[in-house]
A and B are shown apart, each in its own frame.
Chain A
Amino acid sequence: MATEILMPALSPTMEEGTLAKWLVKEGDTVSSGDIMAEIETDKATMEFEAVDEGIIGKILIAEGTEGVKVNTAIAILVEEGESADDVEASSGGGSDDDEDKAPIDEPMSANPGAPVTVVVPAEMDIPEGTEMKPTTVREALRDAMAEEMRRSEDVFLMGEEVAEYQGAYKISQGLLDEFGAKRVIDTPITEHGFAGIGVGAAFGGLNPIVEFMTFNFAMQAIDHIINSAAKTLYMSGGQMGCPIVFRGPNGAAARVGAQHSHDYAAWYSQIPGLKVVMPYSAADAKGLLKSAIRDPNPVVFLENEILYGQSFDVPVMDDYTVPLGKAKIWREGTDVTIVSFGIGMKYALEAADKLAEDGINAEVLDLRTLRPMDTGAIIESVKKTNRCVTVEEGFPVCSIGSYISSVLMQEAFDYLDAPVINCTGKDVPMPYAANLEKLALTTTKEVIDAVKAVTYR
């Protein structure tokens, strides 16, 4: 059967091209792979190969013709004994199936920038009379891992110094003794590689906990966290989940300089497919880490070195979990909403105490999870207080605070009595000198000043 040879698209963006040269003539026999013509695109001259076998019955577009639209018939291929006249040349000019395509400019939602919705389970009730045990964040994290490793054989921990050294920050103390070297695995110092191995193991159905000695070093592994872990479920049409937890200390510790003090909260929170957790208290650290390990999605779990040694009450329960995606009100108030998370809560709570002395009654909200973010809780609180200050240690540009400000502007504009102020780390790499470092982080005083500004005191 005679068939048309169409002007090919030779690059993702090509719409038309120049038929620079024919390398075959009418009457020539071609077979698959033979080069028939040279075609100039906007980028390069490309060779155009035959796909089917046949005889060039007729050349429809002469060489040297410019502006030949993709899918225009340029020649007719016939079989032995056929004539090119058996085919009527189409008028050409591109494919005609454009009309069949679904319209792509239909709005998907009233707010095109809204994050994808995630189902968030209800918060667990702590029964009346439950014993509360003072526990450090360090112990709480260890207990969470141990409980989940007892619960499922598929959970294992890997990272630098997690086993024999008992953890660079002693988070994995005792785990090697209880679970053995098969499930508590020391890795070489090779973040990119072991993060990839962890993600592969999760594709294989296991539940890895990958500890980064600090998240600063995870920058070497960020390709696997984002491209391999976060995107694969989508790219596979829902087939290939990645149940993995990446955890470790994040943000500034003390006097460790610019490369060891980076807060990645805002970076990871931008990524659809990741869940991002940044706990403050020991109870939340435990309950959230247990939920993160059970979650079928990749979770970035951002801890803080300074908080590791701090004690909080943790409920003594068989299986205490905190759902990912629920904020917590630490302190109820009526005059202003202070939103924070992680170590930022330290400044927020200190500021609230001091403000109370001045008669300002601040509500303090701990986000706990940054993605999915419980923006509903922020909005509810602001509807009551009409003012908001956010607190974090990360950089100011495109921060968590700036996102919260935009959400409030879009969804609670009529309730705001003052512009939202973001207290953040300063827009500088972390300096080493003690006085400069202190200045580079946010401070309780800055939070107090911000609250006074939004409450016009």
Chain B
Amino acid sequence: MAAKKTTKKANVSKEELLSYYRDMLLIRRFEEKAGQLYGMGLIGGFCHLYIGQEAVVVGLEAATKDGDKRITSYRDHGHMLACGMDPKGVMAELTGREGGYSKGKGGSMHMFSKEKHFYGGHGIVAAQVPLGAGLAFSDKYRGNDNVTFTYFGDGAANQGQVYETFNMAALWDLPVIFVIENNQYAMGTAMARSTSSPDIYTRGAAFGVKGEAVDGMDVLAVKEASEKAVAHCRAGKGPYILEVKTYRYRGHSMSDPAKYRTREEVQKMRDERDCIEQVRDILLTGKHATDEDLKAIDKEIKGIVNEAAEFSKESPEPSLDELYTDIYMEAEA
């Protein structure tokens, strides 16, 4: 990835820039807080933080319309916040409480929102890929022009079901955008050690699926690519692949000592390529916002995140009766 700062004068309004800044900052502060609550023992099990990758979901969501669907893996907190799910409900699910999106029964990796068309939250690497194509199938079947954003990582890109899905999505012209969040490490394995070709987006070519790579640290570049992919899908031209080159600052999960990369590598990314800093730069140098304006946003976000954290501590654990609910839906008479 080119280590250059974005200089492009994208065709975006001040309001859009501010909303990207705000949305990305919300994810970052939320995740930092989640890490803190994990450290305090309030969050258990697996907890995969999204810090560093915020521009991916915020840029992609910028091109969505009502009824569009999204589905992802277990590194899912950012996707939920970006599509408008309530930080309180997300955080309370992380702490395993009644007020969580799954009433505490799903956890960090398994949350859903029918209202926001967020379909999880899946823990088996790449399982969400055919599921996402199936969601797109349902839209095509109904004859609407909605699209499904199916997110997966560079690690998942080596699973066989991804290619089974590319084949059928192309065969049936399914309106699905395959978003490969390439953060360069599949858990602890660097891409060069796991993936035979460096350009994952080209892997659709064998199935006739168009693809392109995008700088995932640049929210404006992601947004532009998202608009292009969405237009392709809405026009009924079938699936599209976006390989979004990004970077996660934290470990794979909380219990990752991250010995597979150097501290300097991570620091360099943070210093030179950070997605939030890039927008901050544009806002300040373009005189779209003052330092004070941004401080006010920081403060507002901090308030939202603190409120979510408080809620997630105060919400009670699920009632013991919940053990045996939600296993079967009752058939309609």
Contacts and interface: CB of A to CB of B under 8 A. Distances in A.
Nearest to B105: A237
B127 A196 contact: yes
A9 B45 contact: no
B198 interface: no
B326 A204 contact: no
B164 A12 contact: no
Contacts of B251: 46
B113 A296 contact: no
A192 interface: yes
A224 B168 contact: no
A182 B330 CA distance: 29
A359 interface: no
B327 interface: yes
A93 interface: no
Interface in B247-293: 249, 251, 254-259, 263, 270
Contact of B320 (A106, A232, A237, A294): A106
Contacts of B139: 204
B168 A193 contact: yes
B317 A237 contact: no
Contacts of B165: 193, 196-197
Q: A33, A94, A295: which has the most chain B beta carbons within 10 Å?
A: A33
A44 to B, nearest CB: 4
B124 A223 contact: yes
A441 B60 CA distance: 56
Interface residues of B, number: 75
A204 B258 contact: no
A228 B120 CA distance: 10
A227 interface: yes
B131 A228 contact: yes
Q: B122, B258, B328: which has the most chain A beta carbons within 10 Å?
A: B328
B32 A192 contact: no
A235 B138 contact: no
B137 A200 contact: yes
Given A101-B317, A235-B121, A193 B137 contact: no
B10 interface: no
Contacts of A188: 164, 167-168, 171
Nearest to B35: A51
B327 A234 contact: yes
Contacts of B317: 101-102
Interface stretch (B11-19, B95-103, B178-186, B219-227): B95-103
B329 interface: yes
B257 A51 contact: no
A6 B40 contact: yes
B320 A102 contact: yes
B326 A233 contact: yes
Interface in A203-241: 203-206, 223-224, 227-228, 232-241
Contacts of B132: 200
Nearest to A5: B39
B133 interface: yes
A117 B325 CA distance: 10
B331 A121 contact: yes
A190 interface: yes
A283 B131 CA distance: 34
A235 B105 contact: yes
Interface string A51-69: 1000000000000000000
B84 interface: no
A116 B327 CA distance: 8
A332 B328 CA distance: 32
Nearest to A192: B161
A8 interface: yes
A10 B255 contact: yes
A295 B331 contact: yes
B301 interface: no
Interface string A165-206: 000000000000000001000011010111111111111111
A200 B133 contact: yes
Interface residues of A, number: 74
Contacts of A95: 40-41
A108 B251 CA distance: 38
Given A235-B102, A239-B113, A156 B141 contact: yes
B127 A206 contact: no
Contact of A9 (B41, B122, B327, B328): B41
B255 A11 contact: yes
Contact of B129 (A118, A196, A223, A272): A196
A390 interface: no
A378 to B, nearest CB: 21
Contact of B135 (A192, A203, A275): A203
Interface in B131-161: 131-139, 141, 160-161
Contact of A204 (B44, B135, B325): B135
A201 B137 CA distance: 6
B50 interface: no
Q: B104, B110, B161: which has the most chain A beta carbons within 10 Å?
A: B161
Interface in B58-95: 69, 71
Interface in A236-282: 236-241, 272-273, 275
Interface in A359-413: none
A71 interface: yes
Nearest to A32: B32
A12 B51 CA distance: 20
A237 B102 contact: yes
B138 A192 contact: no
Given A95-B40, A235-B110, A237-B103, A201 B138 contact: yes
Nearest to A203: B119
B333 interface: yes
A9 to B, nearest CB: 5
Nearest to A205: B138
A11 B41 CA distance: 9
A272 B327 contact: yes
A51 B38 CA distance: 12
Given A116-B324, A203-B135, A190 B40 contact: no
A183 B136 CA distance: 15
A197 B327 contact: no
A206 B137 CA distance: 9
Contacts of B320: 102, 106, 108
20 contacts: A9-B38, A9-B41, A12-B44, A12-B45, A43-B255, A45-B257, A47-B257, A188-B164, A193-B130, A193-B165, A199-B130, A200-B137, A204-B139, A224-B127, A224-B131, A232-B120, A233-B327, A237-B106, A239-B101, A240-B114
Given A44-B255, A46-B251, 12 more contacts: A43-B255, A101-B317, A102-B317, A119-B330, A200-B130, A204-B69, A227-B122, A227-B123, A228-B127, A228-B131, A237-B102, A237-B106
Interface of A: 6, 8-12, 14, 32-33, 35, 41, 43-49, 51, 70-71, 94-95, 101-102, 106, 108, 116-119, 121, 156, 182, 187-188, 190, 192-206, 223-224, 227-228, 232-241, 272-273, 275, 291, 294-297
Interface of B: 32-33, 35-36, 38-41, 44-46, 51, 69, 71, 100-106, 110-114, 119-124, 127, 129-139, 141, 160-161, 164-165, 167-168, 171, 249, 251, 254-259, 263, 270, 317, 320, 323-333
